[in-house]
Amino acid sequence: MNDPLRIGLIGLDTSHVIAFTELLNDPDHAHHVPGARIVAGFPGGSPDFHLSASRLEGYTNDLRDRFAVQIMDSPAAVADAVDLVFIESCDGRVHLDLFKQTVASGKPTFIDKPLAVTTNDAREIMRLANDAKVAVMSASSLRYYQDLLEARATFDRDNPIVGCDAFGPMSIEPTQPGLFWYGIHTVDIVMSVFGTGCAHVRTMKNDDFDVVTAVWDDGRVATIRGTRTGNGQFGVTLHGKSSSCYVDLTAVSRPGYATMLESILSALPAGKSDVPQDQMIQVVQLIEAANKSRVHSGRIEQLE
């Protein structure tokens, strides 16, 4: 039997580090994902981001004390000690800098959402990765929810998906521009369904809602509705030429984290990504354009 792959976490300020470690390291977990273990971590953290600074110590202690994860003093030290790197910092502003510190190790890397909070940073991450021949993957776990995958499979050439309406909570955090904090989830759902080719977007907003209309260059249209009223549900309606299908992404039988980890472990060790590079970049482009529209009274913004 092959030894499990060793994974190192960089940025221990998000609940994802606990969720991933429970799924990978606990063989008795109901949704255990075999084949890898979290063995090392670098805390990181962003002092100016409350949700980072306030959670960092607790998650770091939990990983060390409950799971015997070795806490190291630099991202580079973690990368050198493992087979796969997971950049987990909840602050998308620091992902490029963290990747710069680990890319020389040559280790395949998962960068948790968002890949970056500017298109320039996203492109630079991919440039560095390509130059170093390092596989990089980034995604929201919602694109891996089993019910969504099964619903997409019901459409075919005779009834292709031509529309997509996604919704979910969309809280705003001052340090994470506009929709990057929680809008990333619904945007990634849409991108997983439509793929690249988004031409322009328009965002209408008030205190409680954001509604983004995104038009693809082949005429397909998606809407992304975010709420700040306390409604925590996620969902999406897929529209085909002859039928539509609603998918509830809140009541699921298997966590999307588990399916995403399986995809990561099947792709990255082989030097591949389950999500195409241009799609990862366009998620960032779409949000950046939507952010411009929301601060310019719903002006139509072309993707750059």
Q: How confident is the model at residue 252 (pLDDT cuts 50, 70, 90)?
A: confident
| Residue 287 CB contacts under 8 Å (≥ 6 apart), including other chains | 114, 178, 179, 180, 183, 184, 187
Percent helix, strand, coil in the chain, to 5, is 40, 25, 35
The mean per-residue pLDDT over the stretch 236-254 comes to 94
pLDDT tens-digit series, residues 54-105: 999 999 999 999 999 999 999 999 999 999 999 999 999 999 999 999 999 9
Helix (H) or strand (E) holding 81: helix 75-81
Residues linked to residue 236 through DSSP beta bridges, in sequence order: 166, 247
Domains of the chain: 5-141+256-274 (3.40.50.720), 142-254+284-302 (3.30.360.10)
Residue 1 reports pLDDT greater than 80? no
Q: Kindly list the distances between the CA atom of residue 276 and the CA atoms of 101, 126, 282, in Å, as whole numbers in the listed order.
A: 23, 11, 10
Burial of 96 (0-12, 13-18, 19+ CB in 10 A): buried
Residue 276 reports pLDDT greater than 70? yes
Amino acid at 15: S
Provide the residue count of the chain. 304
